[in-house]
């Protein structure tokens, strides 16, 4: 097993949902966590909770779309901690709408945050991990990055297919050469704030109805899967984590 105590992690999208749950779980395992997102008040509250439980955390307010801000946050974490061992590319948005609504602003936000955000954070940490000759990058795709869902999810699916493809290529490029592990996480339905960005009332109603129809995963369930892959022995790369609610088709 890889001993996680004393490792340093950056978690994007740590202000809610899967990111916040993973920060708590990694911190409980002794990982010092860099908490990245735009809502600094939420990050400060999470940091307080982590410290209260005996863990260590650093708040890094950033928009993952802003490559300079991401690099500054990563540099700050490394300066404060001496290394970066884990990057959890988790920040993402899913405003659901049908293509003929032409909500191009929402399409662009998904491309910028879900794809370019992953690239920005990866580019910021890679030089450090290459120098260390070690590291572990988690990228958050989705069940929607394996299969295209019905009307409304087209652009979201496209961004998550991109994340799945990027993860697989990245794994092949940095595994043997730089001793860096890459894990692509593909969750099914998780009970988080993700539906809240959907502005189409009918789509929002459908999302809420689905939430009521089956037992969703809790964010902690994905956090547990991240911990499992991170704690695997150094020669083991859990390349994909496809985790679904038992009741999800
Ligand atoms: N929930 C699900 O069913 C599900 C299923 C499959 C995959 N996923 C994926 O899981 C990841 C986490 O989502 P979640 O379900 O935990 O939803 P969530 O509770 O809405 O969390 C999303 C996180 O992303 C952050 N974020 C959004 N835009 C950002 C930006 N421009 N810069 C920095 N941070 C940003 C948000 O923080 P701020 O708003 O404070 O910046 C928030 O912390 C996403 O990539 C999502 O696509 C979720």
First to last CA, the chain: 33
Active site residue 128: no
Residue pair 35/23 in contact (Cβ under 8 Å)? The answer is yes
- Rounded distance, CA 217 to CA 14, Å? 18
- Region 128-148: mean pLDDT is 98
Q: What angle do CA 71, 77, 83 make, to 5 degrees?
A: 105
> To test the ligand 1 pocket, which listed residue (12, 17, 118, 248) has its Cβ within 8 A of the most ligand atoms?
17
Mean pLDDT of the chain: 97
Contacts of 227 (CB under 8 A, 6+ apart): 4, 22, 25, 26, 29
Residue 218 backbone phi and psi in degrees, to 5: -90, 150
Q: Which helix (H) or strand (E) holds 58?
A: strand 57-61
**pLDDT tier at 116 (50, 70, 90 boundaries)?**
very high
pLDDT, tens digit, 9 for 90 and up, residues 187-217: 999 999 999 999 999 999 999 999 999 999 9
Which ligand 1 atom sits closest to the C-alpha of 114? 45
Ligand 1 pocket, 91 CB below 6 A? Answer: yes
- Rounded distance, CA 167 to CA 185, Å? 9
Go through the domains of the chain in sequence order and give each one's CATH number.
8-243 (3.40.50.720)
pLDDT at residue 150 tops 90: no
pLDDT at residue 1 tops 90: no
pLDDT at residue 158 tops 90: yes
Could you give the count of Cα atoms lying within 13 Å of 87 in the half-sphere of its Cβ?
32
DSSP assignment of 176-228: HHH-EEEEEEEE--B-SSGGGG---HHHHHHHHHHHHHS-PBPHHHHHHHHHH
**For residue 96, with 0-12 CB atoms within 10 Å meaning exposed, 13-18 middle and 19 or more buried, which class applies?**
buried
- Region 72-94: mean pLDDT is 98
- Rounded distance, CA 40 to CA 48, Å? 12
């Amino acid at each position: 097993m890889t001993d996680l105590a004393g490792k340093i992690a950056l978690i994007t999208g740590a202000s809610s949902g899967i990111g916040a749950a993973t920060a708590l779980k990694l911190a409980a395992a002794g990982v010092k966590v860099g908490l990245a997102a735009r809502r600094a008040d939420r990050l400060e509250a999470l940091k307080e909770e982590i410290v209260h439980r005996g863990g260590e955390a650093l708040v890094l307010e950033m928009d993952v779309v802003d490559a300079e801000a991401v690099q500054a946050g990563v540099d700050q974490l490394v300066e404060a901690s001496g290394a970066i061992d884990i990057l959890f590319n988790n920040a993402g948005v899913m405003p659901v709408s049908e293509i003929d609504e032409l909500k191009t602003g929402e399409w662009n936000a998904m491309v910028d945050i879900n794809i370019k955000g992953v690239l920005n954070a990866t580019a910021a940490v890679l030089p450090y991990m290459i120098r260390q000759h070690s590291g572990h990058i988690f990228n958050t795709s989705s069940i929607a990055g394996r299969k295209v869902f019905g009307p409304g999810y087209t652009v979201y699916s496209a961004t998550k297919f991109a994340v799945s493809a990027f993860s697989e290529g990245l794994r092949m490029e940095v595994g043997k050469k730089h001793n860096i592990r890459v894990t692509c996480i593909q969750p099914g339905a998780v009970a988080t704030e993700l539906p809240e960005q959907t502005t189409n009332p009918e789509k929002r109603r459908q999302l809420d109805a689905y939430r009521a129809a089956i037992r969703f995963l809790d964010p902690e369930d994905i956090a547990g899967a991240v911990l499992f892959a991170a704690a695997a022995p150094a020669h083991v790369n859990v390349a994909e984590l496809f985790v679904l609610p038992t009741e999800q088709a």
